[in-house]
Chains A and B, each alone.
Chain A
């Protein structure tokens, strides 16, 4: 308890109590309790609220089985629909993360080491300002941009590149663009922070020793930026896999995001239990996936949190 005494002495008793309470409140009420409720829900039979806590609200694994085997009344052996959506969501999230990484690394490098003074600040500002607009509105604006009578189609048809408007929405291009854009800042800023701390002389030294630009990045800049890259990738991957607004608004009629199935469980099928089970499955899979990737690329958790 020594650290607690030091903590109180350093901050003064009122502030220390406030800090301690708010952190504990945040951890228990906002994170741990809701998650525990979800776990609990996911492990119980789906009964209407009045029967919650009665004998019929018993523990079961049926909701976890559902994603694999589907409904017992169905003729299919496996629940290919839900599993397919689950896999497609993960693969899509991986691709969106990679696209973001490829887009954002050069931007972050440019901001950190090339752009000078006012121009750099203007660029950062123009990256941030669009995100003052609500996520749903931004998704709708992409729908307008990519619509059959949207600016992009009008332009492409206007210059004669296309004979007739291309259906970006049905072909999921609007969705990919929207998702890629949605979390771009969460990729740029961690990379920017880590690249920015690189000593400019190291880049010059590598160049002086004869290195072409790509090798400078490969051997000097990227290794230095690895914690930022991992941190950005983790956040973008997690958030993309868990995105709801962009897939609901920009997704084509045939594409379904896993979060949409979870949403249906809670809001349309009134099956909170299955919704919870699916949400837990998504969360655990994402965490395991991120940990495995970190292991492969030899990144420690502490580095990401820096």
Chain B
């Protein structure tokens, strides 16, 4: 069984501090939904409100259309995977996995059988009699998933469960999590500050900042059509120039900035008027060593970094003291050191987006 989750005008206050501000979200049945935001943005608070460890100060949480007010975490159709996993160290792996069944009074033989099935699902057969402490980080991770799935929740909640793993394992677990979600078909709500995780796994992503949902959309929209300057700067890397709108229509907007006059797409999500303070955002991979594009400028190469598949080139631009970052695919040709050289770079208006000036993500 799977269920949708709805948050209606949810506020969470801790004294004077507002952790969630009028949050409205609808998470569809069977979706892999991610709440993405920097630490302290209130995403964990929202998760706790869904799991029932916290009652919203205002508003409603509905799971499968049912109002969850006054229903404790032990009686909600949700299961939570904790950031530190919170496996029971004094129980064996199979006892951990079937704890939810033990609670429901399922007899030992049936529990063992179910444990065997779940160990199969997480690709850890014959590890049931080990103690949790004998497993590796990635194995523990999977045991935590199995333990939560054994409760047969309608909604699985995941609180940054991959943050403790090393990079390789994290990337592997991303696809594994996605595969498990598709196999069991229940709703996953995933919390992370890692946009890479969010983009690779999710059907939909909500970006959160200071208790407010900034944008909800699928990953490509989030990347290509950010709804606010915060989303543009938080999701993926972005270069930006700040300036004044000199001309705008439905398709394109032109900005006057200290570094020159630039043209970019008009954001679909926000309206702009002539004279407004605005940002134009350009992805590092959209800037080319080419002066024949819609926008062009002169820059001095500060330094360059080799990342294997990419070269990252850092440029100093007049009128913009933080500089620009340019990514170019390593095509196997020899790249001589061009540090200190003056180069012409440019970008097309279609690959740049103009948004009203607003808060940016912290570097």
Contacts and interface: CB of A to CB of B under 8 A. Distances in A.
A209 B151 contact: yes
Interface in B27-68: 51-53
Interface in B76-98: 78-80, 82-84, 86-88, 90-91
Interface stretch (B99-107, B161-169, B296-304): B99-107
A212 B103 contact: yes
B103 A208 contact: no
Nearest to A215: B103
Interface stretch (A44-52, A199-207, A234-242): A199-207
A237 B83 CA distance: 41
Contacts of A201: 82-84, 86
A199 B147 contact: no
B86 A199 contact: yes
Given A204-B53, A215-B103, A210 B74 contact: yes
A200 to B, nearest CB: 9
Interface string B137-151: 000000000011001
A36 interface: no
A211 interface: yes
A211 B90 contact: no
A241 B102 CA distance: 40
Nearest to B83: A201
* Secondary structure of the A contact surface, majority rule: helix
B183 interface: no
A207 B84 contact: no
A204 B148 CA distance: 13
A113 interface: no
Interface string A204-238: 11111111100100011001100000000000000
A207 B86 CA distance: 12
B260 interface: no
Contacts of B83: 201
B323 interface: no
Nearest to A203: B86
Interface in B291-329: none
Given A201-B82, A205-B86, A210 B51 contact: no
A199 B74 contact: no
Contact of B99 (A206, A212, A223, A224): A206
B90 A208 contact: no
Given A215-B103, A219-B99, A207 B73 contact: yes
Contact of B79 (A202, A208, A215, A223): A208
A22 B179 CA distance: 65
A224 B147 CA distance: 20
Given A199-B86, A210-B151, A220-B88, A205 B100 contact: no
A209 B79 contact: yes
Nearest to B148: A209
Contacts of A223: 90
A237 to B, nearest CB: 24
Choose among B86, B100, B102, B147 the residue with the greatest number of A CB atoms under 10 Å from its CB.
B86
A289 B169 CA distance: 51
Given A205-B86, A208-B80, 10 more contacts: A205-B88, A206-B88, A208-B78, A210-B74, A210-B103, A210-B104, A210-B151, A215-B103, A219-B88, A223-B90
Interface of B: 51-53, 72-75, 78-80, 82-84, 86-88, 90-91, 99-100, 102-104, 147-148, 151
9 closest Cβ pairs, A-B complex: A201-B86, A205-B86, A209-B100, A223-B90, A210-B103, A208-B73, A211-B103, A208-B80, A201-B82
